[in-house]
């Protein structure tokens, strides 16, 4: 018996916020992320009490989410993640705000918004994502799926 492993790649396009190229495993949430009190900047872990990612680290991952919430402390907290080497590899987000823009800039991580397709509908946690913000291209390699056992 054998299994067939399928892999497929999707491409979406968007607008550069911070240039650069990065890739990594996706961490996806439909919840906005609070910087001040919502993350631990020493570990890159979401700590907000009712957040669906509570206890999960975004360090080195492509963080896919609607956008920032909370105070102007957002950029300070994400700046600390860069200093502690636990920042996301890249940011993909839907809503551009000054908090979000500044937070992306201070991490030095490639960041994009303004997509032709909603990344929250295209990307799942565990997908492999390559972000080329300079070209405005996001390549998504879907998690491998196995199609049944074959005789």
Q: Could you give the residue numbers annotated as active site?
A: 71
| Closest alpha carbon to 18 in 98, 134, 125, 121 | 134
β-bridge partners, 68: 33
d(CA 48, CA 95): 20
| Closest alpha carbon to 58 in 30, 103, 26 | 26
DSSP, res 122? H
């Amino acid at each position: 018996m054998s299994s067939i492993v399928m892999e497929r790649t999707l491409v979406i396009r968007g607008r550069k916020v911070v240039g650069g190229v990065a890739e990594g495993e996706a961490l996806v949430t439909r919840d906005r992320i609070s910087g001040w009190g919502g993350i631990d900047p020493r570990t890159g872990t979401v700590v907000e009490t009712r957040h669906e990612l509570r206890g999960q680290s975004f360090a080195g991952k492509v963080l896919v989410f609607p956008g920032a919430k909370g105070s102007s402390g957002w950029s300070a907290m994400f700046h600390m993640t860069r200093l502690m080497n636990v920042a996301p590899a890249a940011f993909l987000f839907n809503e551009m705000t000054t908090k979000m823009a500044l937070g992306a800039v201070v991490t030095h991580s490639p960041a994009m918004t303004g997509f032709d397709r909603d990344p929250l509908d295209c990307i799942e946690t565990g997908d492999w994502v390559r972000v080329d913000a300079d070209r405005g291209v996001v390549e998504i390699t879907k998690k491998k799926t196995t199609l049944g056992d074959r005789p």
